[in-house]
Amino acid sequence: MTATVPPTPSDPPIPDPAGRVELPPGTTLTDSRFVNDDLLPVPLARRRWTTYNFTALWVGMAHNIPSWLLASGLVALGMDWKQAVFTIALANVIVLAPMLLTGHAGPKYGIPFPVLARASFGLRGANLPALIRAGVACAWFGIQTWIGGQGIFVLLGKLFGGWAEASEVGGQPWTLWVCFVLFWALELAIIHRGMETLRRFENWAAPFVIVGALVLLVWIANKAGGLGPLLDQPSKLGWGADFWPVFFPSLMGMIAFWSTLSLNIPDFTRFGAGQRAQVRGQTLGLPTTMTLFALLSVFVTSGSQAVYGAPVWDPVALAGKTDNVFGLLFALVTVLVATISVNIAANVVSPAYDLANLAPRLISFRTGALITGVVGVLIMPWKLTETPELYIFTWLGLVGGLLGTVAGILIADYWIIRRTALDLPGLYTPGGRYWYTSGWNLRAVAAFLVGGVLAVGGSHSAPGKGPFPEDGLIPFLEPLADYGWAVGLAASLVVYVALMAGHRRA
């Protein structure tokens, strides 16, 4: 062991007036198994993200093609537009709570998600939740990059005749592969420049994407002479017995859409100027933006039905219907900015830190980002979006159950067991208070297993609609599957608190 900490316990970190803590003067942490420059706490002088920065971050992440398509997926399942928007709005209000709770550790201690997880899972055990989060992010990175590449392909196809008729490679036109690879490379080039570049990019990307979406609304409303008949379409489910079996798994799926960030939000809030900045910024940015974006997608699609006789839910396909060169170029830039904004922030930052936590000696933040980009392509996760059932119930439902389980343990440990008081040097020190059993907190692992089994053990699919048995993987747990995120969070939280009740607090 080569890490050293202040010589006496009488030298604790001294918080600043805003309650933020940094390593005590003279602390040296050099054990490369658990430390590198990217995992160390952000110094107070570099914690300067404001309310606007966090709001812009969420606006930039929320305005993307998959979140635009959320409302369409719910309508395809039988909801009317009011039910779809209500479901999305409620989900984002709910997921905001764990987002703020886990985000608290960021401004206070300046630590990323995998280091926070060391307090509950142990210095080595933290790799379990970190790799789960990283795997989910890699899959999302592939989905978003493919969608972004397709957007460029469609819009360039309108500008260059014959673009879509190019010879095929691997079942797709080679021009589509070129768009995909170029878009992938552009994303990694931006993240390679670091978090400060991301902050500046999000600051101007957020208002630009909002303007782009509003321009699309004005354009389609002008062509339609007003919004179309879609807003008058009744629900196929009503508000009775047919609605609730679709509503609850859909609600869990919508929560799961951002449950990824409810874990690793400290990766961003660690740069916050204080708690007020992250609380206000996230509250202003997440639920309001997602709700407004859902409304916007419904209104634009409504107009498309009036103009083209059928609803066009994909904003790229809709923008591609214009013959105006300037309009196509503007749509192309908007798609680029919107997709890059969310993909880098939501799906590259977290696994870059998570993979660095796995082997700090070998993997830096930038190396982790490159690995994420490669894995995200190799696993080809875009197939998960082929049907609403597969996308919302299977992919988002399964992911939400597992991530909710991890969130329950993090919240229980940080807020209930430790009352937000962490030994900052101890998070990097083998043999310290977070070493537990050879670096693993077996209580956290047990709580994760219990919560995970309860959350996803009953996963089921309709006949021919998905990979699970019709009566569930574990049949008697099938009734819980529709509430996977909530079940996982509540079960793991209760079990963890019970198991840790007799354990020495930090």
* Strands 172-173, 168-169: pairing kind: antiparallel
Q: How confident is the model at residue 6 (pLDDT cuts 50, 70, 90)?
A: very low
- CA–CA dist 147, 66 (Å, integer): 8
- Could you read off the pLDDT of 200-237 as tens digits, one per residue? 776 777 777 778 778 878 888 888 777 666 677 677 78
Asked if 91 and 254 touch (Cβ cutoff 8 Å), the reply is: yes
- CA–CA dist 282, 268 (Å, integer): 11
DSSP 414: I
The lowest-confidence range among 3-17, 372-386, 440-454 is 3-17
Q: Which of 68, 98, 15 is nearest to 400 (CA)?
A: 98
- Could you read off the pLDDT of 83-107 as tens digits, one per residue? 888 888 999 999 899 999 999 999 9
Q: How confident is the model at residue 306 (pLDDT cuts 50, 70, 90)?
A: confident
Amino acid letter, residue 71: A
Contacts of 442-446 with CB under 8 Å at 24 or more apart are 443/496, 443/499, 443/500, 443/503, 444/120, 444/121, 444/122, 444/125, 444/409, 444/413, 444/496, 445/121, 445/125, 445/128, 446/495, 446/499
Contacts of 235-244 with CB under 8 Å at 24 or more apart are 235/78, 235/79, 235/80, 235/82, 235/83, 236/78, 236/79, 236/80, 237/78, 237/79, 237/83, 239/83, 242/78, 243/79, 243/83
pTM: 0.82
- CA–CA dist 3, 426 (Å, integer): 10
Instruction: Count CB-CB contacts under 10 A for residue 308.
Output: 15
Asked if 298 and 135 touch (Cβ cutoff 8 Å), the reply is: no
Tokens of 140: 């999302």
Tokens of 482: 């529709």
Q: Which of 339, 319, 321, 341 is nearest to 331 (CA)?
A: 319
Higher pLDDT, 381 or 442: 442
* pLDDT score of 495: 97
- Could you read off the pLDDT of 474-483 as tens digits, one per residue? 888 888 877 8
* pLDDT score of 225: 76
Burial of 82 (0-12, 13-18, 19+ CB in 10 A): exposed
Asked if 98 and 258 touch (Cβ cutoff 8 Å), the reply is: no
Do you know the residue count of the chain?
506
* pLDDT score of 2: 35
Residues whose CB falls within 8 Å of the CB of residue 45, separated by 6 or more in sequence, listed in order: none
Most confident of 42-46, 143-147, 201-205, 232-236: 42-46
* pLDDT score of 383: 65
| Count of helices and strands (H, E) across the chain | 19, 2
* CA of residue 232 relative to chain centroid, distance: 33
Backbone angles phi, psi at 446, to 5 degrees: -65, -45
Tokens of 465: 């609609």
